[in-house]
Structure 1
């Protein structure tokens, strides 16, 4: 019985780490956003702010919560042995954001599609990492 409780605790802790990936994903997106323009030119910085992460956050509200739910669902699918569920999660996310991603910003261009894809890949990889570690630890028992 204790063995089962400890394995369950490992899976719960892995799920919590998968859930708490926002900081890592946002750090990655900020690094990518900084690489979009050289920091020395004020005009380029303003353009970067208009087309980059700041604008994407404004035009795609709720992204943080979508990412949290996405990571929980992907972690649960992998731990439950249902990797096909990842396709369902990503399809729902993509279809739900399609209209927002299809439209352009007021300036006529936007990087929100690019940032959406990068954030989604990073989020999936983060959840898969913790699912793999948790399952590996449980199977080593």
Structure 2
């Protein structure tokens, strides 16, 4: 049984990272087809890590991880958002919020689905 739980967990984590990346990219193309100047560095990798952490936290029954991820991301990005040129700040902040919410929704949905599946087989 543990092998099945591990397989489900790894599949959920991978699915969260890949589906989240594709969905966030798709959403960004819909709101801003042209490249946006001043985009925050490392956003793709940070997004993958945040989805893996959120999905993993839900899978192990610790949804508190979501609050930690939100706090760390907000505090870590605040200086960059604040230092962005005034004429670019609105677009960069909008992408940050939309990307974060899209990423969190995907991670939470996959985490809840994976946890339900694990609990169903237990």
* TM-score (ref. length: structure 1): 0.77
Correspondence 1:100 to 2:99: no
Contact 1:56 1:115 in 2 (8 A): no
Summarize deviations over 1:96-119 as a string: whole Å, max 9, x none.
Answer: 1101111233x7243111110110
Correspondence 1:120 to 2:100: yes
How far apart are the structure 2 equivalents of 1:108 and 1:56?
Answer: 10
Correspondence 1:139 to 2:119: yes
Structure 1 unaligned segments of length 5 or more: list them.
Answer: 35-48
Task: List 4+ stretches of structure 1 deviating above 6 A.
Answer: none
Within 5 A, what are the aligned runs for 1:1-141?
A: 3-20=1-18, 21-34=20-33, 49=34, 53-57=35-39, 60-105=40-85, 108-110=87-89, 111-141=91-121
What secondary structure, in the 3-state scheme, does the structure 2 residue paired with 1:108 have?
helix
Summarize deviations over 1:43-65 as a string: whole Å, max 9, x none.
Answer: xxxxxx5xxx52143xx111111
How far apart are the structure 2 equivalents of 1:56 and 1:67?
Answer: 17
What secondary structure, in the 3-state scheme, does the structure 2 residue paired with 1:55 have?
coil
Quick check: which has more Rg, 1 or 2? 1
Alignment correspondent of 1:41 = none
Structure 2 unaligned segments of length 5 or more: list them.
Answer: none
How far apart are the structure 1 equivalents of 2:117 and 2:47?
Answer: 25
How far apart are the structure 1 equivalents of 2:8 and 2:43?
Answer: 28
Higher helix content, 1 or 2? 2
